[in-house]
Amino acid sequence: MATSGEYGRHDFGQGGLNDGLDVGELVDEIGLDGDEIAWRKEFVGFDDEDERRLSRYEDAFAENAEQIADDFYENLTGHEQTAEVMGRSEKGLEQLKRTQSAYLVTLAEGEYDEGYFEDRARIGKIHDMLEMPMKHYLGQYGVYYDLILPLIGDRLIDSLTDRLAPDAAGLTVYDETAAAVEAEVDDAIEDLLSVLRIINLDMQVVTDTYINSYSEKLSAEVERNNRLMAEVEDE
């Protein structure tokens, strides 16, 4: 079981493909500066309250990071198409799992600055360089929801247990039960929305990196066609 601090941003950028990747240039190309990040946060409603709520899961994410990474890659290796993409990576399976654990932990670290989104851009670009189709990458988030949302359910159960525990006289105040349950469920829903908002921001950055790559390939192809047309006209 991992502890808080064992995984983090230092785990990103370690693979061989990073040698040919200039993340600063990449974020410039997709326009991901401080103002753009602030606008995106405001647009999806991600604020200080979301940061606070996510921070409550830092320990839980760290404690479950390795198991979630194991389950995550069990799913990927179980499908031929995604297993083929993984085979192109210079990292071994255990290295990939470590990076995945770091991704989960940094979701709740509370640092959602330009460096955070540079890391997300790096991750997206690396998957594009591995020629992972966007449908695979975005589809992984659906798998991720299945793995991490139960942690919110666990916290809800713990909170309800505490709220509905017998009082000092050994009796539960049942007339407050409905209000307590409603309050805890509402709180859990807000936690869920915070998780979905930060993942939505991550998905936006990944999509940007893919679209940027497609644009570069299209521009190169147009340039090649223009060059061929010019050669034909000169003959």
pLDDT grade, residue 14 (50/70/90)? confident
For residue 78, the model assigns a pLDDT of: 92
Per-residue pLDDT tens digits for 21-58: 899 999 999 899 999 999 999 999 999 999 999 999 99
- Predicted pLDDT of residue 43: 94
pLDDT of residue 171: 53
Q: What is the crossing angle of helices 114-129 and 34-44, to 10°?
A: 90
3-state helix, strand, coil in the chain (%, to 5): 75, 0, 25
DSSP state letters, 55-94: HTTHHHHHHHHHHHHHHHHHHHHTSHHHHHHHTT-SS-HH
pLDDT in tens, 192-231: 888 888 898 888 888 888 888 877 777 777 677 766 666 6
Cα atoms found within 13 Å of the Cα of residue 5, Cβ hemisphere only: 0
Could you give the CA distance from residue 235 to residue 212 in angstroms, rounded to a whole number? 35
Res 25: pLDDT: 92
What single string gives the DSSP state of each residue in 122-148?
HHHHHHHHTT--HHHHHHHHHHHHHHH
The CA distance from 139 to 117, in Å, is 20
The predicted pLDDT at position 189 comes to 83
pTM (two decimals):
0.78
- Structure confidence by residue, pLDDT tens digits, 116-157: 999 999 988 888 888 888 888 888 888 888 888 888 888 888
